[in-house]
Every structure is written in structure tokens, then in C-alpha cells.
Amino acid sequence: MWVPRISESNQPVYLSIADALAHDIASGALRRGERLPTLRELAQALDVTPGTISRAYTEASRRGLTQGEVGRGTYVLDRIADTGEAPVVTRAAPAARGEALDLSIIKPYGETLQYWLRNALTELANTTRLEQVLDYAPDGGHPAHREAGAQWLRQWLPGAQWQQVVITSGAQHGLMVAISALTGAGDLVLCESLCYPGIISVAHGLGRRLRGVPMDEQGIIPEALREICQRERPTMLVCVATCQNPTTAIMSNQRRAQIAALAEEFDFLLLDDDIYGFLATDPQTRPLATFAPERSIYLTSLSKSVMPALRIGYLYSPPKLLSRLTAMVRSTVWMPSPLTAQLASHVIGEGLDSQLIRMHRAEAAARQAIAREVFTEASLQSQPHSYHLWLNLPEPWRSDEFALLARANGVVVMSASQFQVERTGDPRGVRVVLMSPTSREELRFALTQLASLLESGDPKRFY
């Protein structure tokens, strides 16, 4: 039986199997018409799941190496060119001339996601547990889907119980559910002074008063938070403590404990938006919610860590707040799609989430290295595995002006003004997302365009 030799690399196992298959066909070790092992046979030989082998065979078929025949198996099509090298994964074509390179949307590396999703959908269709996705789900979601969410959450919240998980239609929906269910009209909600625009739109749309708390390189400054609490009584603090959007700040455990202590002292709730928690560099970093579990709601989702198409979020709540959260989910969408929740549960149960996280972290690290090579003279705020960075602008640059001229030069970034809770002053910075361009070559080109603007030293040259 053919068994591939898997090379050590950061790429997914299924791609390594497809590469080995291509190599063995090129070398003559596999001949035209030769039948390959079944999914189960090869999975047992390599100690992986049958789903991984299915993805490898699908990738090989996409490359024109094999063909599957229903009832007969998978066969080698033909010997490829006698180069002795495996063909690389086909890359998307570079951006057309004049087409802007979009570095404004934070999302995971997407080049191979379609293959992961295709096989996950195929495996889902063949499962015997489809009956629970054909009807209305109970409040909070099906117990099996909530248990999958608890399994996901235990990476950061050891001992998480499925009964305290509430399923939402993504993190943005979870954000809206928590703020609308746990605060009232006119209540004061706090967040970072530079924050994710989705927080601003939700708070304003719900009629909450939103105030930004001054920040430093670790995020919210405890002393500044105390000063606000002494003047006014906030109902909730929304905080992104790991790879903060847009600054990439990561709070130390000591800082998180200080924030939690202030929540206890001034009696407000903590909404721990930990959507980027999987990108933390220090494994000892604890979620903010663990420092005050009885007054904290933990929020995460799969859209950044696995794939944007999985619009499933998980709220983890103290028991006393569960009924309010589940009622708000019912009031807004009645229920998140059970079909999507089943797909998410399958991805988690099969371990595909862990594989994709490793792939995304490795790709982010490589792209952060490119950014450091290009921005040799610039002032950056970033993290080793962050999907984005914060580019500080020197005088005489202004944020909106730089973003406008960057777009005119074919690169889209987000200005600091789009993250300001109160539109006072100019923090002089732009958020640059590194994972959006298809290839690293495109990323390097886009970053070089931005660096050249900075190095000119005079915005007027570009008008």
C-alpha cells in the first residue's frame, strides 16, 4: 500500500500528503491507473482522520493528479512533468493593474479555506446527526452545539460548562446581544479610546452613552478608568484585552486583575471580547473574564480563528445572566442557524479548528516579518502573531490624509479617526491588515507603497 512521506512544514497535513503524492507520481513511484489506499486505510497508516485524507485526495484531484470513481476508489491519472518536484498550490492572480490592494479588513488567511470548507461540508452531509439541524433550536442552542462551544472555550476557560454557553450569529451579534440585554437606554458603556467600530455602532444604535478610556501600550489604563468611575457610574466595560483592535495591545495579567478589581469596586459588568485570544503570545495570559467570573461575559467566535463563513459566536455567562442573554437572542434572530452551528460543531469535533489556527498563526508570523523588513524606519505597534499592525504617523502626516493618499496609490487602510469614540484630536495612525492580500508578494508590494509615502516626509508632494 502506498504511504506518503510527510515533510515537516507549517502547512496543513492534507497539503503535505498532496505534495508527496505529486512527488511520487513525478518520480515514477506511482504509475498511471494505480489505485490509491482508501480513506480509512491511509488514515490509519498516518494516524490522522479520514477527513484529512479526503481533503488530500480532493486537493490532488484539483491539481489534476488523481480521479475518484464512485464505488471503485481513487486512481492516479497520469505522470506529471519529469521535474522531480511537486507542483505548488495554484495561487490567485496578482491584483490587476489599477485595482486597490485592500488592507482594511481583518480576516484569517483565506487561500486554502475553500478546500477545508468543501470537505467539512461533505463530511457533514454524510453524518447521521442531521436531524437536530432540521427544526427550531431551544433557547441558547442545541445542547450538542453548546457542548461543542464549551469544548472550544476550554482552551481559555478550563472547566467551561455547556449550560453556560449561549450561541450567537457571530461575534458582532454577540456584542449586540450582551449590550442590549445587560444595559439600558442612556446607560454609560465604556471601551478603549480607540476601539473596533462595531462597538461604536452597536452602542449608539441602542441609545447607550459610550465613553472611551485612555490607553497605553497595554490597553486601558487602570488609573484613567478609576477617574471616570469616580465621576460617573458605568454599567459595562467592553474590552479587547488581547491583540486589541486597532492597536494590537495585549494586557498583562497584572493589568487584567486591576481592571477586574475596579469592576468589583464600582459594580459594573465586564464584556471580555476575546475574539483574538488565540493569537496571544504568552500561554500564561488569562482571559480578563477569569479575574471576575461572576460579573464577566466572555465573547468569542470562529470567524477570525477558523473562517469568516462560520458566523457562529459563543457567549459564556454567569448563570444569573443567562436568561436575559438567551431572551435577547430570541428577540433578535430567534435562533442562530442550527445548520451553521452543526458545521461549527463538526469543525471543532474533528480538530480542524486547531489545524487552521496553527496555519493562521504561522502565516501571520511570516507576514509580520515582512512588515518589519519593509518598515525599517517607521514606528509600529504589533504582535508576533497578530493579523494587523498599527502604523504611527510622524509629523506632518495626519491619519485621514495618509489613508486618502494610500488609497490613491492603490492601498486601502483604515484611519485612526474611524476608531475614535470621541472625535477629538488626531492620534496620527492607521491600521494595516496583513492577511488580506492573496500572496505575500502582493503584501510586500502594498507595504512598500505605504513606506514610500512615509519616507517622502511631505504629504504635499502627492497632491
For 254-272, the pLDDT digits (tens) are 999 999 999 999 999 999 9
pLDDT higher than 60, residue 297: yes
C-alpha separations of 64 from 3, 89, 189, 425 in Å:
20, 12, 56, 57
- Beta bridge partners, 390, equal 381, 431
pLDDT higher than 70, residue 95: no
pLDDT digits (tens, 9 = 90+) for 141-166: 999 999 999 999 999 999 999 999 99
pLDDT higher than 50, residue 93: no
H helix intervals, 267-321: none
Element spanning 197, H or E: helix 197-205
Whole-number pLDDT of residue 129 = 67
H helix intervals, 267-412: 322-333, 338-349, 352-374, 399-408
Distance CA 221, CA 223 (A): 6
pLDDT higher than 50, residue 441: yes
pLDDT higher than 50, residue 80: no
Helix axes 171-182, 322-333, angle to 10 degrees: 120
C-alpha separations of 150 from 178, 241, 314 in Å:
18, 21, 8
Helix axes 13-27, 50-62, angle to 10 degrees: 50
**CATH code, 13-76:** 1.10.10.10
Whole-number pLDDT of residue 91 = 38
Higher pLDDT, 336 or 7: 336
Distance CA 26, CA 401 (A): 53
Q: Note whether 219 and 239 are within 8 A (CB).
A: yes
- Beta bridge partners, 107, equal none
Q: Kindly state the average pLDDT of the residues 412-416.
A: 96
Residue in 105, 90, 12 with CA at minimum distance from that of residue 439: 90
How much is the mean pLDDT over the chain?
89
pLDDT higher than 90, residue 11: no
Whole-number pLDDT of residue 128 = 60
SS3 assignment, position 329: helix
Other Cβ atoms closer than 10 A to 43: 17
pLDDT digits (tens, 9 = 90+) for 216-236: 999 999 999 999 999 999 999
Whole-number pLDDT of residue 94 = 41
Whole-number pLDDT of residue 424 = 81
Q: Kindly state the average pLDDT of the residues 2-26.
A: 82
Instruction: Tell me the longest C-alpha to C-alpha distance in the chain.
Output: 78
Torsion over CA: 335, 336, 339, 343 (sign)? negative
Other Cβ atoms closer than 10 A to 309: 14
Pick the range with the lowest mean pLDDT from 2-11, 51-60, 158-167, 263-272.
Answer: 2-11
Whole-number pLDDT of residue 97 = 43
Residue in 213, 357, 349 with CA at minimum distance from that of residue 275: 357
* Burial degree of 373 (CB within 10 A; 0-12, 13-18, 19+): exposed
Write out the three cell numbers for 81.
Answer: 512533468
Q: Kindly state the average pLDDT of the residues 201-209.
A: 95
Pick the CATH number of 129-351 from 3.40.50.300, 3.40.640.10, 2.30.110.10, 3.30.930.10: 3.40.640.10
Percent of the chain residues topping a pLDDT of 70: 92
Q: CA gyration radius for the chain?
A: 24
Residue in 431, 428, 429, 402 with CA at minimum distance from that of residue 414: 431
pLDDT higher than 60, residue 82: no
Assigned fold of 101-111+354-456? Aspartate Aminotransferase, domain 1 (3.90.1150)
- State the first-to-last Cα distance of the chain, in angstroms, to the nearest integer: 67
Q: Kindly state the average pLDDT of the residues 4-11.
A: 75
pLDDT band per the 50, 70, 90 thresholds, residue 55 = confident
pTM equals 0.79
Whole-number pLDDT of residue 71 = 66
Domain extent listing, the chain = 13-76, 101-111+354-456, 129-351
Q: Kindly state the average pLDDT of the residues 384-389.
A: 97
Whole-number pLDDT of residue 102 = 93
Percent of the chain residues topping a pLDDT of 90: 65
**Beta strands of 32-98 (E only): which ranges?**
66-69, 73-76
Write out the three cell numbers for 141.
Answer: 442552542
